[in-house]
Every structure is written in structure tokens, then in C-alpha cells.
Amino acid sequence: MTVPKLLENKTALVLGVANKRSIAWAIANRFHEAGARLAITYQDERLRDKVEPLVEGISDCLLIQCDLTKPEEIEETFAKIDSEFDGLDILVHSVAFALKDELEGRFSDTSPEGFQVAHNVSSYTLTSTARAARPLMEKKGGGSILAMTYYGSTRVIPHYNVMGVAKASLEASIRYLASDFGEFNIRVNGLSPGPLNTLAARGITGFPKMLKYVAEHSPLRKNTELDEVADTAMFMASDLARGITGEIIHIDGGYHIVGM
């Protein structure tokens, strides 16, 4: 498939690239093919070795270490982007984390620490990075912010537990940010893919069973593919989606509409 240059002359920051199978990398790669100039963050030196080889074929990609739970690193990151790009058009938030023990047993057994960690990393970091991105997007006359969410925000998914509650918080944040930023021509939306066979998803107990069930019961009778998510992100980040904000776009073969 020939990728249209929908993002030519735009600059994009993608948060959450961890490896070649991550949703964030699929989106970053598609943005590059669509003509965007890229900045990519990695959390720490441990992940640098996995991310650096991915961007070797992308000329002038800005690679930045940034732990999103540290305000000073967020500030430094956006200062570097402003210096390099003189503004920003697109921000992609593909960041989520919960303590492993919280994804077992009952949600009601969630610890205070587990609740705080999941919400801080998976939800609040959207607000903190969107706030930092706003002045850079104002320079460009507007922008598009995208965050990755999941069906477990509105329906009970076995073993998703506190992450589902954190995703519900994320989706509420998307709506409030869309309201806050609309006057600056900055759109804020969420993408909600079906279950994807990423390294992170494999940590959820029973994940293979989940993939099989969704493929059998979704209207399109298939699982979601990374390229489908990347293509939707490309559209939502482009001017073709200029009238859409505050929405959760499902990319799940229609699974979210099925009752039985």
C-alpha cells in the first residue's frame, strides 16, 4: 500500500515506543511514511538499546530520554522539541503501566500503591504532556493529541483490573482536555484498538484466549492489526480529521458494539 503524505510538513512527538512490536512504534513508522518529522521518547537507558536501532533508518529523528513520571524530564523534553522544531503539530500518548500483582485476582484487592501507579503513569501523564505541548501547538496554529485506550475502560475484562479503571480516567481526561484546548484549535482524541499481540499485552493472564474470543465474535471476525491502528492514527493526526475532538475511536473490528 502506498501511504499518502497526509502529514507532510508536520512534526510529531510519539511517547511510549518500547520495541518493534509496540503500538507506538507502528504509529511512529506510519507517521514517518506519511511525511512527518519525528521525535520519539524512551523511558531510560535500559530501553534505549531497543529503541535506537528502530530509528536508524529515519533521517533526523529526534530521540530523547524521558521518564514521564518526572516533571523536570517532561520540561526538558518539550524544550528540546521546541528548539529543534520551533513548535509541534502532533502528540501521541501510548503509555500505560500497572504493577504485575494488580493484574491478578480481584480488582477489589487493588493496593493504594498499585492504584496510584496505574493512574499516574497510564492517565495523568496524558495531562502533564498535553499541558507541555499546548504552547508548542499554539505556535503552529493548532494540533492533534492522540491517546491509546482500551475497551476495558467501559466493560469488565478479566485480569485487566486497575488498568481498566485507569483507562476510564484517561478517557475522561481526553474529554476535559478537548474542552480546554478547543479554543486553541488543538484536538484531543483517543484510539481504542482491540487486543493486540504486543509484549505488554502478553503479561495479561489468559490473553491468547482473549484474542481467540474476539476474533470469533467481532463483526469482522478478525483481530485488530497494528497497521490498522497506525492508519487510523495517521488519519486522526491529519487535517482530514480537523472537525473531530473529544472522541474515542474504536479500531476493533466492531467488537465493542456486540452484546452477545
Which residues have a catalytic role annotated?
Answer: 150, 160
- Who's near 125: CB < 8 A, 6+ residues apart? 15, 68, 69, 93, 95
Q: Is 219 helix (H, G, I), strand (E, B) or coil?
A: coil
Residues making up the chain, counted from first to last:
260
- Pairing outcome for strands 143-148 and 37-42: unpaired
Cα dihedral 130→148→233→125 (10° resolution) = 20
Distance of CA 13 to the CA centre of its chain: 11
- Tell me the C-alpha to C-alpha distance, in Å, between residue 32 and each of 12, 53, 59, 234, 251: 9, 15, 10, 10, 21
DSSP of 104-167, one letter per residue? SS-GGG--HHHHHHHHIIIIIHHHHHHHHHHHHHHHTT-EEEEEE--GGGTS--TTTHHHHHHH
Beta bridge partners of 40: 14, 63
User: 104 near 26, Cβ under 8 Å?
Assistant: no
Cα–Cα distance measured from residue 41 to residue 23, given in angstroms and rounded to the nearest whole number: 14
